[in-house]
Structure 1
């Protein structure tokens, strides 16, 4: 099966298409540069300068790791905590938000490989009576289900902070979504919804006989030795985690401690940039799922979304149509990019710890895009 479906329908042929997990999620276009380093070794100066520029632009911290084959480089700028003295490190965990979706998708595809489910199975076959319309597993994975997004009402720092201690169940999140009008009929078009991945978490629990947190631990985190990665179900986060801030009207609100149940299996995971690169390498080199399912993941719709993945045009040769695959996370006070070559040989993961209430307002968007592109370009062959 071709890795591209109607690529010509992409309206921005030279863009990196990325999406996240806020209530205003839509794919957005980021222009790559045509600049490439002069050799195949990782060129770190531009990447570090881009991280420094992100802090200069207002982020409390910015961290990244770049990998090219067996070579890797990690960099950081800024501080663990605003007003503190401890320097940020690329080893420090962050909330990765919607990058969680790629991990959940990997577990779903492992269950497909084990014969426990098929991509075209309807949700009603697995969770009878839950949905009023026929939706398939594939439609949940690629956001074509039409199911409304439960994550609304977080449009200001005050609204976000006021919900930091709320504990909610998956049933409550799903019920909230189903009380809203459906965005489309199932299968008609792309419409980003975190509810899709809450439902996938429920399906994984049903098929695997354990919580989504335990399935991710057993199937992904432990086998890959992702020791900085956890699936919190409350407000807990590692003591060495970078603090996250919502910035609005030049006021910084610390939202590091935030009950993760609001994210559920759509965006709850805490990880580090190194662990993210470890995950995407293992996802695409055949360690986690076989090649036929990697190919299935990397089939994308005209919106630039596959099965838990986003696509981008590789900064090494943006005019060639060569692709990178990964995910983007838009969290409360944290944002993340992670992209990899299709074969898992080259990766860049980037996280920063200061974000506007909605991605469209984020003053760090352009500096972060430049840092992401610098990371990709740093691995380009001569």
Structure 2
């Protein structure tokens, strides 16, 4: 496996193996796909699709592309949507949300966003910058004590993944998480595993994607506002955009039923993963629906909640040395072709939400399998859908 690719592993593994389990990091898909997994749940069901105005040929092509990704990687289920202004909408709920309970995927389900959460957190940071409550060039040490190189790492570098800061998924966290995988961790506790740890590299010299970068920003947001992260999120993003199906959850008891179960393939069979969203915090603990994530992808890519100058600053990026499969990564947002948005992956789920400002099109994909070697299934589906749209300009 590429040393730069860190995938989740089932929580049943020993504590020494848990360190890699929690990074929401994914890698560029290879040119050739692996063989389909031999499993009774590998072949996608025909699914249920909702269309409004997209040409029949495009609807068929999108459904075929979704089915191909599900079958190729043995993904139990998916929810996906394509919105094309002036042409219509295609939405699909395919396969199985929960294998043991034989629960089909349905359109209204709430899915873990995983690292798409990072785009929300950095947006909050940029809103505070717009108000003059902080500067992107402030050192993180002005707000948080104990961060290695905290006097030299800027908030901008945390947002663009160039800080060099260690991640929190080391031996100390692995030991505590391994003792009790159901334990609910706080943002402060996760950040505590980072403090004083050796840096990976000098600030600003590389771009290596970690959860800790965004969780430190979450703590900065709380420090500046004097409010819990969840309250700031609700007041500044969820309520203004009326994202009523989006929630910051750290306890699965609050996850609306029915909901999908996450899976990882082991020896030809998919294995259910225990969901504990508290291990991600401001880097990955948001849950949302297809419709809400469509609205978010558009707001994110167009800068609807930011000053125009700030959005321009946000979109200045560069390639990652290690991380998800973007052409470039900017401030809490990635670019693939002409599409801007964010991916997510970890502990049984992958997600992708992208918007093309040129055409106004939006694509959202949720899938309930992660850790496919060298492949991000939701991102592959997004790219495949984008190809369909490019081949059918104007419908």
Using the size of structure 1 for normalisation, the TM-score is: 0.80
What does 1:180-259 correspond to in 2, within 5 Å?
180-236=197-253, 237-255=255-273, 258-259=275-276
For residue 89 of structure 1, what is the aligned residue in structure 2? Answer: 106
Conserved in 2, the CA contact under 8 Å of 1:283 and 1:289? no
For residue 34 of structure 1, what is the aligned residue in structure 2? Answer: none
RMSD over aligned CA atoms reads 3.1
Change in Cα spacing, 1:189 to 1:26, as seen in structure 2 (3 Å) is farther
For residue 306 of structure 1, what is the aligned residue in structure 2? Answer: 330
SS of 2:98 mapped into structure 1: coil
Change in Cα spacing, 1:346 to 1:77, as seen in structure 2 (3 Å) is same
Matched, 1:150 2:150: no
Pick the aligned partner of 1:58 from 52, 55, 74.
Answer: 74
Q: Distance in 1 between matches of 2:251 and 2:376?
A: 32
Shift of 1:324: 1.2
For residue 13 of structure 2, what is the aligned residue in structure 1? Answer: none
Matched, 1:297 2:314: yes
What does 1:1-382 correspond to in 2, within 5 Å?
22-23=22-23, 25=25, 28=28, 43-56=58-71, 57-69=73-85, 71-133=88-150, 134-152=152-170, 164-236=181-253, 237-255=255-273, 258-303=275-320, 304-313=328-337, 323-342=338-357, 345-356=360-371, 361=373, 365=375, 368-380=378-390, 381-382=393-394
Choose 192-201 or 282-291, whichever is displaced more: 282-291
Q: Distance in 1 between matches of 2:197 and 2:388?
A: 45
Shift of 1:40: 8.7
Pairs aligned (count): 341
Using the size of structure 2 for normalisation, the TM-score is: 0.77
Conserved in 2, the CA contact under 8 Å of 1:97 and 1:331? yes
Change in Cα spacing, 1:181 to 1:67, as seen in structure 2 (3 Å) is same
Give unpaired runs (5+ residues) of structure 1.
1-17, 32-38, 314-322
SS of 1:327 mapped into structure 2: strand
SS of 2:386 mapped into structure 1: helix
Conserved in 2, the CA contact under 8 Å of 1:160 and 1:332? no
Change in Cα spacing, 1:181 to 1:127, as seen in structure 2 (3 Å) is closer
Change in Cα spacing, 1:73 to 1:163, as seen in structure 2 (3 Å) is farther
Shift of 1:28: 2.4
SS of 1:92 mapped into structure 2: coil
Change in Cα spacing, 1:203 to 1:261, as seen in structure 2 (3 Å) is same
Choose 345-354 or 237-246, whichever is displaced more: 237-246
Change in Cα spacing, 1:180 to 1:160, as seen in structure 2 (3 Å) is same
Q: Distance in 2 between matches of 1:148 and 1:161?
A: 20
Shift of 1:366: 6.9
Shift of 1:367: 5.7
Change in Cα spacing, 1:258 to 1:371, as seen in structure 2 (3 Å) is closer
Give unpaired runs (5+ residues) of structure 2.
9-21, 32-52, 321-327
Change in Cα spacing, 1:203 to 1:379, as seen in structure 2 (3 Å) is same
Change in Cα spacing, 1:250 to 1:152, as seen in structure 2 (3 Å) is farther
Conserved in 1, the CA contact under 8 Å of 2:351 and 2:379? no
Change in Cα spacing, 1:366 to 1:186, as seen in structure 2 (3 Å) is closer
Q: Distance in 1 between matches of 2:359 and 2:115?
A: 20
Conserved in 2, the CA contact under 8 Å of 1:110 and 1:288? yes
Q: Once superposed, which parts of structure 1, at least 4 consecutive aligned residues long, lie more than 4 Å away?
A: 18-22, 39-42, 128-132, 159-163, 366-370
Change in Cα spacing, 1:24 to 1:55, as seen in structure 2 (3 Å) is closer
Change in Cα spacing, 1:270 to 1:164, as seen in structure 2 (3 Å) is farther
Q: Distance in 1 between matches of 2:232 and 2:192?
A: 24
SS of 1:77 mapped into structure 2: strand
Q: Distance in 2 between matches of 1:344 and 1:282?
A: 15
Change in Cα spacing, 1:148 to 1:41, as seen in structure 2 (3 Å) is farther
Choose 299-308 or 168-177, whichever is displaced more: 168-177
